[in-house]
Amino acid sequence: MDNTFRMINDHAVGELSADVIFRIAALAKKANSEYGSDQVYNASIGALTDDNGNLLINNTYYEVLKELPNVYFADYAPMTGEPEFLDASIKACFGDVEVEGYTEAVAVMGGTAAIKHVFWNYADDGDEILVTDWNWTPYNQIAYENKRVMRSFNMFTPENKFDVPAMEEAIETVLKKQKSVIVVLNFPAHNPTGYTPTKEEARDIYDAVAKLGEKLQDKKIILLFDVAYMDFAGDKGRDFIRAYRPMPNNVISLFSYSLSKTATAYGLRTASMISLSSSAELALEAKAAVTFSTRGTYTGCVRAAQLAFAKIINDATLRAKFEKERDGHVALVAQRADAFLKEADKVGLKHSPYQSGFYISIPCEDSMKITEALFEKKTFVAPMPKGLRIAICSLAEWKSAKLPAILAEYVK
């Protein structure tokens, strides 16, 4: 640590480092204004935009929202969330899949709050929380802020399948020193690789975890499914829920279902944390603990945002309109991804096993060095510990097609 005089406490000093992705995005913005956007490849920030960089919005959601009486905006929501929103969120999250077990839901301020509250309620100070080695980097920050640490395990086998043995080994290792372990599983349409498990892979994951739960009966395993991109993964995206099988009582599944991407409601900070357990009491316990945390953090969530979503999910006509609009956005991302992947294969650029979602990744060493070298091509990507993240969600199709050749010059 340096000798700078600071008013903040020692634990807060780590919080001063600037977010590298936002720094790169600022450089891209500057390049845009200097050279014009046709010259600039900005694949750094994960927002779904049209070809001109304008945020894509689900208008049906906002039409319904704005028709709500003012009182729904002004009034507090119940601390646990609006009951019709909680039911609607379970319905929307699981889709046509009937899961075997008890479910409960609680409203939270976005998926980030679900993650924070789960880290807080299911781990102790200093505990390690498991995550795949390709991951959404803010997990680290959320863990740090709550006195927990992330520990990663290998995500893909050489055949690009989910590395179940690596996950098993990591769970066993951590449970040798902790009484419980949270495993963060961010799929379908994983950020930053676009990976979605097949039913078989998901079955292997559940079988492995159930076996560990049965073997280590005095330990607890918490599967935190961060399904932020669920509704961008098509029908196959829910195959991992179709593969679900009842788990022993010392294994609980928690789903963070956010309206940020689902309803393009990023700024409205609304999500549902859904618990799934073989025990009704343990499913309810999750809801009660997270409600308490909500009260102890920033109190209840935005009422109107919840009610608008519930209204849409419970009205067949509105729901069809809402989903049709979203399908258009999903198709746009798919076109961009197709263009990128086709060209990547042509120029021999290796990439992550992408199926859907906002990002494709390019495995490489020295990702920061390559990211900085790419500035000379007016190309802006996000460096990750294991490679480069390409935000195709914000890159026009013609740029997505041209980018692989540029990247291939730098990634050996």
Among 89, 112, 293, 356, binds ligand PLP (CB under 6 A): 112
At its nearest, how many Å lie between ligand PLP and the CB of residue 51?
21
Which range, of 78-86, 98-106, 235-243, 258-266, touches ligand PLP by CB under 6 A?
Answer: 258-266
Residue 329 φ then ψ, to 5°: -65, -40
**Which of 5, 61, 44, 59 has its CA nearest to residue 313?**
61
Total binding residues toward ligand PLP, as defined by CB under 6 A: 13
At its nearest, how many Å lie between ligand PLP and the CB of residue 36?
28
Among 228, 273, 274, 411, binds ligand PLP (CB under 6 A): 228
At its nearest, how many Å lie between ligand PLP and the CB of residue 178?
23
Q: Which is nearer to ligand PLP, 216 or 313 (CB)?
A: 313
Residue 186 in contact with ligand PLP, rule: CB under 6 A: yes
Residue 142 in contact with ligand PLP, rule: CB under 6 A: no
- Let me know: does 226 contact 129? Beta carbons within 8 Å: no
- 116-140 residues labelled b (16+ CB within 10 A) or e (exposed): bbbbbbbbeeebbbbbbebbbbebb
Q: Which is nearer to ligand PLP, 101 or 357 (CB)?
A: 357
Q: Which is nearer to ligand PLP, 137 or 278 (CB)?
A: 137
Residue 264 in contact with ligand PLP, rule: CB under 6 A: no
At its nearest, how many Å lie between ligand PLP and the CB of residue 261?
7
Residue 44 in contact with ligand PLP, rule: CB under 6 A: no
Q: Which is nearer to ligand PLP, 258 or 355 (CB)?
A: 258
Which residues sit at the interface with ligand PLP, rule CB under 6 A?
Answer: 46, 110-112, 136, 186, 191, 226, 228, 258, 260, 266, 271
